[in-house]
Chains A and B, each alone.
Chain A
Amino acid sequence: MKALLPLALALSVLGTAHAEELTGTLKKIKDSGRIVVGVRDASQPFSFLVGNKQYVGYSVDLCNKIVDQVQKELKLKSLDVVYQPVTSQTRIPLMQNGTIDLECGSTTNSVERQKQVAFGVNMFWVNVRMAVKANSGIKSVADLNGKPVVTTTGTTSDRYIKQHEKGKNIDVKNLYGKDHDESFLMVETDRAAAFVMDDTLLAAKIAASKNPKDFVVIGEVLSGEPYGIMLRKDDPQFKKLVDSTLTAVYKSPEIEKIYAKWFTSPIPPKGVNLNMPMSDKMKDMLKNPSDKGI
């Protein structure tokens, strides 16, 4: 059964794509013999750099499946895979101007972003929650009244704090860290009482900290967001290939393995285990793949 899966997949894609002329990204890859994959330096455990040369992570594993499929589909003997580091500021412009062909990081699939780029079927579901010091006594958003709360610049989390402030009649002081490390440092040094961010990222930062037992992720889920693999807009051939490859992976036992590798096993470089079993929401998402943004 396992051996049949790629074959069935290849057939299904070949059947449609080969009937028509290559266009867009697939044509670009075929002509140049290389595919450029956008990756992140420090988005553990989705996409990050290990040992200064190798990009690994959950998203990177999924992207490698897509790259393999592209090579098969285009019948290329060799395909040059270039990993191009991007940041949350550069990922969209670099996709639009053709520098990268796929982006495998931790990018929220949002309706606003879909005006600029396209996404493959959603690949992960994160919940926005907060990390606090274990001895702080903070149990929920309501306990934050009058306290400083940090989030990272260039992310979408601060809007959730603001929305919850209005709903609960509480008043928090918003602080901003330049990156996730700095935001976490603000909680570590007591500048901020809580760090609001995607729960996977919080778990990764806590696991990597000096004393992981000092911190806990608590409180209600402020929001849920789907992560997607980004590709260029208006490129139906490539999108179809990406979607069908991902869907095939989701329907096979492979996804369990990839998930377990990054979320319930020790990960490089320090060998920490995030201990985050798959959420029900995520299981649903994998059962019914869609590229709907938030």
Chain B
Amino acid sequence: MTINLDWGIFLQESPTGDGPYWTMLATGLQWTLATALTGWAIALLVGSIVGVLRTVPYRPLALLGDAYVEVFRNIPLLVQLFFWFFVWPELLPAEIGRWMKQDMPYPEFITAALGLGWFTAARVAEQVKSGILSLPRGQKNAALALGFSLPQTYRLVILPQAFRVVIPPLTSEFMNIFKNSAAALAIGLTELTFQMKQMVEYSNEVIVSIAAATVLYMMLAFAVNRGMAWLEKKARVPGMIGGGR
């Protein structure tokens, strides 16, 4: 029962004719990076808007924001990706559905980035909302009393503070989006986990292939973690939360 580990496998040619095995993993890494970063940009934008909506003093807008978070946070990511990829095009008018399935460029990538972005946006919205609510009420009232309009109050007083408060929990979400991007293999995106599975199939070096993917994911998450820590330090305001250290 000896297990054969061939660590030199990465330099061997893969039988698909795409070059050595490490290039398979490198291609996967590129798609993982592209999907996670695009998804993160969407998540930050949509999540911030929804998070702000949930705190504004207009009930219909706040309810709309709540509804978004409940829907996107309570359905498993895998089910959401399946829905956008397989179900949504069938619900649209036939012409548009056919375009989505056959002519849309990079259908797996676009579906994965949007699906991942919308899913993570619900979680970002929750963080942004709690960041805003964590500020003393006096901040908002003082700004309004000084004659700022509500949008100005948010833009100049509340959000700059709230975003600083939520950098640590957002770091976790940013790391999560890299790990969650692996779910996109279910709709055929050739990302890192997908390529790992292909490599397992062709080389039969199961343990070596999984170890390589594990290390790559860890490096990605660690880089994000360090990057966000740097951002947190850069954005620190002396006298504010954690800024006095």
B155 on the interface (CB 8 Å rule)? no
Known: A93-B207, A159-B16. 11 other contacts (CB 8 A): A89-B200, A92-B204, A93-B206, A98-B1, A115-B4, A153-B198, A154-B198, A159-B202, A163-B17, A189-B101, A190-B102
Interface residues of B in 197-219 (CB under 8 A from A): 197-198, 200-204, 206-207
Q: A116-B4, A159-B15, A189-B89 are in contact. Are A178 and B188 (CB under 8 A)?
A: yes
A185 on the interface (CB 8 Å rule)? yes
A182–B82 alpha-carbon span in the complex (Å): 10
A95–B139 alpha-carbon span in the complex (Å): 64
Contacts of A98 in B (CB 8 A): 1
Contacts of A97 in B (CB 8 A): 1, 3
State the majority secondary structure of interface residues on B.
helix
A162–B198 alpha-carbon span in the complex (Å): 14
A113 on the interface (CB 8 Å rule)? yes
Interface residues of A in 69-98 (CB under 8 A from B): 88-89, 92-93, 96-98
Contacts of A178 in B (CB 8 A): 185-188
Chain B positions within 8 Å of A, measured between CB atoms, are 1, 3-4, 15-18, 86, 89-90, 98, 101-102, 107-108, 185-188, 190, 194, 197-198, 200-204, 206-207
Let me know if A232 and B1 touch, CB within 8 A.
yes
A159–B204 alpha-carbon span in the complex (Å): 15
CB closest residue in chain A, given B194: A153
A156 on the interface (CB 8 Å rule)? yes
Contacts of B187 in A (CB 8 A): 178
Distance between B68 CB and nearest chain A CB, rounded to angstroms: 28
CB closest residue in chain A, given B203: A112
Let me know if A96 and B102 touch, CB within 8 A.
no
Distance between A232 CB and nearest chain B CB, rounded to angstroms: 7
Contacts of B204 in A (CB 8 A): 92, 112-113, 115-116
Let me know if A154 and B16 touch, CB within 8 A.
no
A112–B200 alpha-carbon span in the complex (Å): 11
- Can you report 8 A-B residue pairs in the complex whose CB atoms are below 8 A from each other? A115-B204, A116-B4, A148-B102, A150-B188, A154-B198, A158-B198, A189-B90, A191-B102
Contacts of A150 in B (CB 8 A): 188
Contacts of A259 in B (CB 8 A): none
Let me know if A96 and B188 touch, CB within 8 A.
no
A88–B86 alpha-carbon span in the complex (Å): 24
The one of A116, A155, A191 in contact with B101, judged by C-beta atoms closer than 8 angstroms, is: A191
A89–B203 alpha-carbon span in the complex (Å): 12
A177 on the interface (CB 8 Å rule)? yes
Distance between B19 CB and nearest chain A CB, rounded to angstroms: 12
Let me know if B3 and A96 touch, CB within 8 A.
yes
